[in-house]
Amino acid sequence: MVLVEIITSEGCGFCPIAIETCRKVVQEFPQVQVKEISTSTKEGMRKSKNLDITTVPTILINGEIRFHGVPRESLLRSAIKKVIEEEKK
């Protein structure tokens, strides 16, 4: 399984756009799940601290930072495909 995580914060105007983009692209991949993690939660702050995340939205794929800001659909699609290919190996 591939997991796309979106780190968000409450005052972030770009975060809803990032969430929508991720949800839209992930629909094309049944084996991929999306999870939104807010920095207002302990999990969000812990993850941000561990990965040196200092901006939102930040997109992680299987725990690795892949994008800061709202990703282009095509780039997100390619990144997900790459991870799926790597998992097959």
Residue nearer to other proteins on the CB measure, 10 or 85: 10
The answer to whether residue 20 forms part of the interface with other proteins (CB under 8 A) is yes
Contact of 37 with 43, CB cutoff 8 Å:
yes
Q: Does 14 bind other proteins (CB under 8 A)?
A: yes
75 touches other proteins (CB under 8 A): no
Between residues 40 and 78, which has the closer beta carbon with respect to other proteins?
Answer: 40
Question: Stretches 25-33, 48-56, 76-84: which one binds other proteins (CB under 8 A)?
Answer: 48-56
Phi-psi bin for 16: left (phi > 0), alpha (psi -120 to 50), beta?
alpha
Cβ partners under 8 Å of residue 89, min gap 6: none
* Binding region for other proteins (CB under 8 A) out of 26-34, 68-76, 79-87: 68-76
Helix (H, G, I), strand (E, B) or coil at 87: helix
Task: Find out whether 22 and 59 touch, Cβ atoms under 8 Å.
Answer: yes
Binding site for other proteins (CB under 8 A): 9-15, 17, 20, 39-40, 45, 48, 52-56, 58, 68-70
